[in-house]
Structure 1
Amino acid sequence: MKKDKVRVRFAASPTGFLHVGGLRTALFDYLFAKKHQGQFFLRIDDTDQARYVEGAVDQIKQALERYGIVPDNFDDIYIQSKHLARYKEIADQLVAQGHAYECFCSPERLDKLRQLQTDQKQAPKYDRRCLNLSSEEKDKLRASAKPVIRMKIPAGESVLEDIVYGRIVTKNEFLDDQILVKSDGFPTYHLANIIDDHDMEITHVVRGEEWIPSTPKHLVLYQMLGWSVPQFAHLPLITKPDHKKLSKRDQASDALLYLEIFELEAILNYIALLGWNPKTEQEIFSKEDLMAQFDLPKINRANAIFDVKKFTWLNKQWIGKKELEQTIFYRNLKNIIKNKWGVGGEAIINPIARLVLGRVEDFWNLEQLVENEFSFFFTVPEYEKNLLRWKNMVDNEIKLSLNTSKELVAKLAFNASAADIQKIFFDYIGTGDKGGLLWPLRAALSGLKASPGPFEILSLFLVLPKGKEIISERIEKAIAKL
C-alpha cells in the first residue's frame, strides 16, 4: 500500500480495560504518526459481543486522553458494530467468487474432529466437509442451523514482510479455513480488521506478535479482494523477569491505575522502552523526544521484560525534575500519612518525603513501605531490648553507648542535616567502632531491625520544635529496658 501520508490505528477491544500491552501499542501508533506527520485513529473492535465489558470503551477513551495519546478521530470513533452491513457485503462477495463457503458443522462435530486429529498427531484443521454442499443440501441444513462462513484457503504460500520480524514465508497448506462470519452474523476479527483497515486507508498495522500466525490468512484475504496490503509491524511480548507473559492480573489490568502511582512522563518514557531501542545511551525521554526519535524499524524482536526496578528508577528521575510537592508520589505519601496517623502538614511531610523516596523500591508498595519503615516518626515504637544489642555488647556497654549518643544529640542544632549530624558523630567516634554507637541509637529511635540510618532519623526529628525532647525520651526509654 503506497500512501503519501502515514495512517495508523489503535484497534482496541472492549473485552477488557486498556492495559499495559494496549497502552504500548497505542503509544507506538501515536509516536509513529507524529514522527511522520501522519494520522492516528482509534477503532473499537467490538464484534466479540459475548465478551463485551460494560464501561470498557469509556475507560479506553479516558485513558488515551489522560495519557495525551489523543487520536485524530476522537470525536467520531470508528466502531466495528456499526459496519455490519459492510462486512456482510464483502462476505457475500467472497462466497459468490468462490473464495468462501457456508459451513453447517456443529461445535460437537468440530470438537470430535479436533480430538481425532490431535490423537493422530495432526495439526487441528477443518476438513472441508461443507465445501461442496449442493444448494438443496444447504437449504435443508439452513432450516435447523445457522451457518458460519469460512474462507477457502488457496494453494501456494503467503509472504509477510514485517518491519520488525522481517520476511516470514508460510505454506498455505498449513492454514485452516478460517471462520470469517459467525452464526450470529457478526464477523470475526480476521474479516473485519482487513475491511476496516482498507476502508480507513491504513498504511501501517501495528499490533502484538501473537497475531503473526494469523497474518498469512489476512494476506490471503487481501489477495482475494484485490486490495493493497498495509505494512505490518508486530510488537514483541511484554514479559515478567521470569519470562512469563505479563497478564492482566500483573498490575496491568487498568492503564489508568498507573497514573495514580507514577508520573505521567515516567510512564510514557518507560512504556516506550518496552521493545523500542534508540540505539543510544539515552534513557530519559520526554514526549517530545519520543516523537522526534521513535521509529518502527528500531523495535526489537526480543521479548520486552517489564522491570519494576527500571520503572522505579525512571519514576524517581522524573520526580527529581519537578517540585516535589507537585508530584503524584508526594500526594500519595501525604494521603497515606494523613489516613494512617491523622497528620498531613508540609512541616511533617516534606522532611520525610525525600527519605521515603530514597528507600522506595516499588511505588506500588509505597503504603507498605511507609507503615513498615517510617511509623516510628508518628508513634512511639515497641520492641524487645535485644534489638538494642550490637554484636556481643553487654547491657552496661549499651547503656554507655546510648548515654554518649544523648550527649552528642544535645550538641545538634535545630533542623540539622544528616550530613552535619554524621560529621559530629564521626568526629567523636574517630577510628572506633561505629556500630557500637550507631546501632543502639538507631534501634532506640526506630524500634526496627531495618530502617533508615541513624543520621537520617535524627534529621527527621530535628525539624520538629520538640525534636530533641522526643529523641531524648526514646533514648531514656531504651536505657530503661536494660
Structure 2
Amino acid sequence: MNEPVRVRYAPSPTGALHLGGARTALFNYLFARQKSGQFLLRIEDTDRARLKPGSQEQIEEGLQWLDLTWDETPLIQSERKAIYQQAANELLESGGAYRCFCTPQRLEQMRAEQRARHEPERYDRHCRSIPRAESDRRAATGERFVVRQAIPIGGTTTLQDLVMGTVTFRNDTLDDHVLLKSDGFPTYHLAFAVDDHAMRISHIIRGDGWLPSSPKHLLLFQAFNWLPPAFAHLPLVLGPDKKPLAKRHGAKDVLEYREAGYLPQAVDNFIAFLGWSPGTDQDIFTMEQLIQAFDLSKIQASPAVANLERLDWLNGQFIRRLTPDELATRVASKMPGVPVPALTPLIPLVQERLRTLNDAPEMLRFFFEDPDTYRPEQLIPKGREPAATATALTSAAAALQGLTDWTPESIEAGLRALAERLGWSSRDLFMTLRVAVTGRTVTPPLIESISRLGKDTVLNRLERAARALAGPV
C-alpha cells in the first residue's frame, strides 16, 4: 500500500515571501491536493543571526492570501533544539558524525592555504580521526566543538530526482559539513532531515539551489537508517536578462502585489507557469483547475523566465471574471469611505479597463469628489478661444438642464445637437466636457459617466469650469 502524500513548505523567516518561494509553496500545495495528501508548513528559524522580526507572520499572511492553507500546526524548528541535539548524539554513537574542535582561526588558516593551492574550500577532516574516548573527554571539560557529518570518503551517491533526472555525485567532492553548531543549534542539514522524518514527509519539493546538498542529505538519511523521501528540485526563476528574478526586474514580494492591486488568483496562475506547463493551450486556470492539471513530470529542468507583463495581463483577465458586486467589494478596500453599494453600479464603466485594482480609484474618484482645479490648456480645444469654450460649457449646461429624460441616449443626443449648433466637432466638445465634469482627460465613457453623476452635479461642474476660464476657481 502506498504511503500517503505529505509535503511541506519550509521557509526561513529572514524576509518577506517572494515569488520564487511562493512558487515552491504552490507546487507543494497543488501536488498534495491532487493526491489527497497533506500540505504542511515548517518555519526553519535556526539561523538566529539572520532572523527578521515579523517575517514569519508576513510569510504566513502571504501564503493565506494566495489561498495556500496548511493542514497542521506549523512546526517551529527553534522549539526543537533538544530533539536535534539527541539526533546528533545518535549519529555520534553510530559513527555517522564526529566532534570537531577546530578553532575559527585554524579553519580560516586551512581555507587560506586551500585557496593558495587553488583547491576547493572544504573541511580537511582534521578531527575525524580523534578517538571517541578523547572526544568525549574534551567535550566533558567544556571545550567548544561542532558536530560534523562523516561523509563516506570513497564511492558515489546517486539521486533519482523527479525533475532533474538521475544525478550522481562523487563522495570525495563532498564536505564533512557541520550538523550541530557550537551554540547547540542545528544547521539546516540536520534539522531538515530530522524534521522531514518526524513529519513523515513523502516528497521534498524545493528549489534547485539545494541540489548540490542533496547527496549529503541522502547520506544523512542513510546514516540514521531512515528511508529518504522522494526529491523534486524546481528550476531557478530568472528575469528577462537571464539573471535570477529580483526587485531590479520589477518583481515584488507577495504582499506587495496585494497592496499593488493584484488578485491572488492571478498571482497563483502566474507562478504556476514558472517552470511548469499543462501541455495544452489553456493559460487561465482557477485553483481547482490547477490542482487537476498539475503533474510533477511536466516541470521543466531548465530555468524558468518570468515575464511580469503576463502577470498584468492575467490580473486584468481575473478582474473581468468578477461580478460587479465582487469587484466593488475589492475596489472599496482601495477607496476608504466609499461604500460598496455606491461603487457597484459604477463598476461596469471601468471593469474592462482595469489592469489592477489600484487603477480603479483614480478612474472613479470624480464620482465622489469635485475636481480640485481646472487647467485651461486641458479645457480649451486646440484652435479655440477661452471665451468660446466658456460659452460652450454654459450652453452644454443649459442643454442638459432642459432634458426631461436623464438617460445616456437623451444626454448624447442633446450634446451632439449642441455641437452641431456651435459648429464644434463632437470630439472637441466631448473632450472639454470630459475635463469639466471629471477633471481628467482619460476617464470611463463620458456619456455614461454624466448619466451616473446626476444632473445637479454635472450642471454645477460645467458652470464651475466655465468660471475657471475667466479666473481662478
Q: How high is the TM-score relative to the length of structure 2?
A: 0.80
> Quick one: percent identity of the two aligned structures?
35
Matching residue's letter, 1:442 = R
Matching residue's letter, 1:277 = S
Q: What is the CA–CA distance in structure 2 between the aligned matches of 1:422 and 1:204, rounded to whole Å?
A: 67
CA positional deviation for 1:179:
0.7
CA positional deviation for 1:127:
2.2
Q: What is the CA–CA distance in structure 1 between the aligned matches of 2:410 and 2:311, rounded to whole Å?
A: 29
Q: Deviations over 1:61-102 (max 9, x none)?
A: 56655655333334xx44434544543344234334443221
Matching residue's letter, 1:187 = P
Change (3 A) 1:378 1:57: closer
Q: What is the CA–CA distance in structure 1 between the aligned matches of 2:11 and 2:460, rounded to whole Å?
A: 57
Instruction: Please give the residue correspondences for 1:232-311 in structure 2 after superposition, counting only pairs within 5 Å.
Output: 232-240=231-239, 243-246=243-246, 251-252=252-253, 254=255, 258=258, 261-304=261-304, 307-311=307-311
The answer on 1:452 being equivalent to 2:443 is yes
Aligned to 2:434: 442
- Aligned to 1:232, the other structure's residue is in SS state strand
Q: What is the CA–CA distance in structure 1 between the aligned matches of 2:214 and 2:301, rounded to whole Å?
A: 17
Task: Return 21-30 or 204-213, whichever deviates more.
Answer: 21-30
Q: Deviations over 1:369-395 (max 9, x none)?
A: 735984586123424423345455565
Instruction: Please give the residue correspondences for 1:318-333 in structure 2 after superposition, counting only pairs within 5 Å.
Output: 318-327=318-327, 328-333=329-334
The answer on 1:387 being equivalent to 2:385 is no
Aligned to 1:213: 212
The answer on 1:40 being equivalent to 2:31 is no
Matching residue's letter, 2:460 = I
Q: How high is the TM-score relative to the length of structure 1?
A: 0.78
Q: Deviations over 1:347-371 (max 9, x none)?
A: 4x345544454444444x44xx735
Matching residue's letter, 1:71 = W
Instruction: Please give the residue correspondences for 1:13-162 in structure 2 after superposition, counting only pairs within 5 Å.
Output: 13-16=12-15, 18-53=17-52, 64=63, 68-74=67-73, 77-118=74-115, 120-134=117-131, 135-136=133-134, 139-140=137-138, 143=141, 145-154=143-152, 155-162=154-161
Change (3 A) 1:472 1:40: closer
CA positional deviation for 1:457:
3.5
Aligned to 1:470: 460
Change (3 A) 1:26 1:472: same
Matching residue's letter, 2:434 = R
Change (3 A) 1:381 1:269: same
CA positional deviation for 1:244:
4.2
Change (3 A) 1:418 1:269: farther
- Aligned to 1:42, the other structure's residue is in SS state strand
Q: What is the CA–CA distance in structure 1 between the aligned matches of 2:410 and 2:231, rounded to whole Å?
A: 56
Aligned to 1:175: 174
Change (3 A) 1:473 1:282: same
Q: Is the 8 A contact 1:14 1:56 kept in 2?
A: yes
Q: Deviations over 1:434-479 (max 9, x none)?
A: 654444443444444x5226xx244323322414413531552365
Q: What is the CA–CA distance in structure 2 between the aligned matches of 1:440 and 1:417, rounded to whole Å?
A: 18
Change (3 A) 1:361 1:45: same
- Aligned to 2:10, the other structure's residue is in SS state strand
- Aligned to 1:462, the other structure's residue is in SS state helix
CA positional deviation for 1:114:
3.4
Structure 1 stretches lacking a partner, 5+ long = none
Change (3 A) 1:38 1:393: same
Q: Is the 8 A contact 1:377 1:461 kept in 2?
A: no
Q: What is the CA–CA distance in structure 1 between the aligned matches of 2:116 and 2:220, rounded to whole Å?
A: 31
Q: What is the CA–CA distance in structure 2 between the aligned matches of 1:139 and 1:106, rounded to whole Å?
A: 17
Q: Name which of 369, 380, 404 aligns with 1:378.
A: 369
Aligned to 1:480: 470
CA positional deviation for 1:18:
4.7
Change (3 A) 1:421 1:280: farther
- Aligned to 2:449, the other structure's residue is in SS state helix
Change (3 A) 1:441 1:294: same
CA positional deviation for 1:293:
1.4
Matching residue's letter, 2:451 = L
CA positional deviation for 1:240:
5.0
Q: Deviations over 1:116-135 (max 9, x none)?
A: 54455433222222222355
Task: Return 181-190 or 376-385, whichever deviates more.
Answer: 376-385
The answer on 1:461 being equivalent to 2:450 is yes
Matching residue's letter, 2:324 = L
Task: Return 302-311 or 214-223, whichever deviates more.
Answer: 302-311
Q: Is the 8 A contact 1:356 1:370 kept in 2?
A: no
Pairwise CA RMSD: 4.2
Aligned to 2:195: 196
Q: What is the CA–CA distance in structure 1 between the aligned matches of 2:301 and 2:417, rounded to whole Å?
A: 53
Q: Is the 8 A contact 1:399 1:479 kept in 2?
A: yes
Change (3 A) 1:402 1:466: closer
Q: Deviations over 1:117-171 (max 9, x none)?
A: 4455433222222222355477458746321111233223332222222233333
CA positional deviation for 1:333:
3.8
- Aligned to 2:333, the other structure's residue is in SS state helix
Matching residue's letter, 1:101 = Y
Structure 2 stretches lacking a partner, 5+ long = none
Q: What is the CA–CA distance in structure 2 between the aligned matches of 1:180 and 1:309, rounded to whole Å?
A: 43
CA positional deviation for 1:184:
1.6
- Aligned to 2:192, the other structure's residue is in SS state helix
Task: Return 121-130 or 417-426, whichever deviates more.
Answer: 417-426
CA positional deviation for 1:180:
0.9
Matching residue's letter, 1:129 = H
- Aligned to 1:466, the other structure's residue is in SS state helix
Q: Is the 8 A contact 1:461 1:470 kept in 2?
A: no
